[in-house]
Amino acid sequence: MNDSADLLIHARWIVPVEPAQTVLHHHAVAVHAGRISAVLPSDVARRQVCAARVVELPEHVLIPGLVNLHAHAAMSLLRGIADDLPLMRWLQEAIWPAESKHVSPAFVRDGTLLAAVEMLRGGITTCNDMYFHPDSAAEAFDLAGMRAFVGVVLIDFPTAYAADADDYLRKGLAARDRWRNHPRIGFTVAPHAPYTVSDVNLRRAQMLADELELPLHIHIHESENEIRESLETHGLRPLARLARLGVVADNLVGVHAVHLDAQDIELLANHGATVVHCPTSNMKLASGIAPISRLLGAGVRVGLGTDGAASNNRLDLFQEMRHAALLAKVASHDATAVPAHVALHMATLAGAEALGLGAQIGSIVAGKRADLCAVNLGDILMRPCFDPISHLVHVAGREHVSHVWIDGEIRVDQGTALLQISDKELLRVAAVWQTRLAN
């Protein structure tokens, strides 16, 4: 008697991510009711599984959907607006003035939708976002069919979005209430950074995250100047200050973590915190190279993020995997640092676990949600292929993503995103915002 499935995907290779370093040859994934129901050899699947739809991927590797653990999605509208500036000049002279003038619910919705399309076409199925107007961001991610976490942003100073800390929290929590039962949209508590949030409000953020059982998403130790100012103002390095306030915990998702000493790494490891490595953004802003080998060696979970398109300028986790692997090798003078399977783990399961979704996504295991990405390795430029995991990190790019599924629903088919809005309309939206921002 045959088992039934909604979808059966046959692939040349499957890299399930767990167990680590596993490559399954000529296997299939069966999907039923949005979940992976079985992973089995293709010849067995052809005999035993009766599927409503069968997809054949004879030259492809099937991997879990990628998890972008840190992004400012709406900033896709600011792509390239202020290149080749150091971090604080980039923020103070270009980004913050542009945001003050232009950020609105429409800006966030349109920018996030453009970012979602870019991410989907690059195999990203989940995004952890931090930006203003979370209600509009959630609307865009929902329209794109993505899985997303949206930040309840907290900053001490006023912006076009909110007047003060109370206003940030009120608006963010109201958005969370509106979306709290959505199957694909979750929330984090997202104080911007130690240098923009006071002790009182950092404590409020942690208490809120604990009460609501949410991740706490924050930039940490991004620049040397940040460390110096913290020592001058607080007498402590930022992470030590956060630890004193009770903010360093197992729900901490700390972004960048470029400038760490041994005590910082020990704090992160002892508290089970997660670091989000954004190698391309760190290079572009000349922030430095995060000590990823030392973090991993200490047992710290490390995920990957793109940061925003204004400081990258791509929302491309294939690029981040490659840069993470190569930078770790050159920084540590160790060619064995961050092998390809570790980089892939960082881009998938590590990110899922940081968001509390490790039991739901991040690997191809029966019972998990069917968030999947197929990468075509059939091009002559990819041959020969001795190790598909190595090819994913060091050869393939987002342009080789052929199919993406979220909850078993096709979102990208043969490289084309399947949305309720056309590419023509998205191009019109981008052009409108370019005109506004240029004036």
Tell me if 301 sits within 8 A of 251, measured CB to CB: no
Q: Can you give 418-435 as a three-state secondary structure string?
A: CCCCCHHHHHHHHHHHHH
Q: What is the pTM of this model?
A: 0.97
pLDDT tens over the chain, length 439 residues:
468 999 999 999 999 999 999 999 999 999 999 999 999 999 999 999 999 999 999 999 999 999 999 999 999 999 998 888 888 888 888 888 888 889 999 999 999 999 999 999 999 999 999 999 999 999 999 999 999 999 999 999 999 899 999 999 999 999 999 999 999 999 999 999 999 999 999 999 999 999 999 999 999 999 999 999 999 999 999 999 999 999 999 999 999 999 999 999 999 999 999 999 999 999 999 999 999 999 999 999 999 999 999 999 999 999 999 999 999 999 999 999 999 999 999 999 999 999 999 999 999 999 999 999 999 999 999 999 999 999 999 999 999 999 999 999 999 999 988 887 888 999 999 999 999 988 7
**Model confidence over 151-163: pLDDT tens digits?**
999 999 999 899 9
* pLDDT (0 to 100) of residue 2: 67
Whole-number Å distance between alpha carbons of 421 and 3: 36
Between CA 81 and CA 437 the distance in angstroms is 9
For 166, left (φ over 0), alpha (ψ -120 to 50), or beta? Answer: alpha
What digits encode the pLDDT tens for the residues 32-90?
999 999 999 999 999 999 999 999 999 999 999 999 999 999 999 999 988 888 888 88
Cis-peptide into 19, omega within 30 deg:
yes
Supply angle C-alpha 226, 230, 235, rounded to 5.
Answer: 155
Could you please report the per-residue DSSP string of 16-48?
-SSSTT--EEEEEEEEETTEEEEEEEHHHHHHH
Q: Where are the domains of the chain?
A: 3-64+370-407, 66-354
Q: Are the C-beta atoms of 81 and 142 separated by less than 8 Å?
A: no
Give the other-Cβ count within 10 Å of 174's Cβ. 12
**For residue 384, cis peptide bond before it (omega within 30 degrees of 0):** yes
Q: What is the pLDDT of residue 100?
A: 86
CA 223 from centre of chain: 21
CATH H superfamily, domain 66-354: Metal-dependent hydrolases (3.20.20.140)
Contact, 416 vs 56, CB < 8 A?
no
* Residue 61: C-alpha distances to residues 87, 118, 402 (Å): 38, 20, 10
Write the CA distances from 392 to 19, 57, 82, 171, 434, integer angstroms.
Answer: 17, 16, 31, 40, 34
CA dist 248 and 160 (Å) reads 30
Whether 74 and 111 have beta carbons less than 8 Å apart is answered as yes
> What's the Cα-to-Cα distance from 190 to each of 201, 217, 237, rounded to whole Å?
11, 5, 20
CA nearest to 127, candidates 146, 113, 114: 146
* Nearby residues of 373 by Cβ (< 8 Å), 6 or more positions away: 62, 63, 64, 65, 66, 123, 125, 401, 403, 404, 405
pLDDT at 189: 98
Q: How far is residue 80's CA from residue 310's CA, in Å, rounded to a whole number?
A: 6
- Which single residue is written with the structure tokens 């921002």? 437
pLDDT for the residue 90:
84
**Residue 62, token pair as written in the block:** 């099937």
**Dmax (CA) of the chain:** 72
- Position 1 scores a pLDDT of 41
User: Tokens 């972008």 sit at which residue?
Assistant: 68
According to DSSP, the β-strands at 35-41 and 24-32 are antiparallel
How would you class 437 by CB atoms within 10 Å of its CB: exposed for 0-12, middle for 13-18, buried for 19 or more?
Answer: middle
Task: Report the distance separating Cα 369 and Cα 119, nearest Å.
Answer: 19
Strand order in the sheet with 35-41: 35-41, 24-32, 3-14, 49-64, 372-376, 401-406, 409-413, 416-417
Looking at 160-237, list the stretches that DSSP marks H as alpha helix, in order from N- to C-terminal side.
165-179, 199-212, 224-234
Pick the CATH number of 3-64+370-407 from 2.40.10.10, 3.40.50.720, 2.30.40.10, 3.30.565.10: 2.30.40.10
Cβ atoms of 365 and 17 within 8 Å: the answer is no
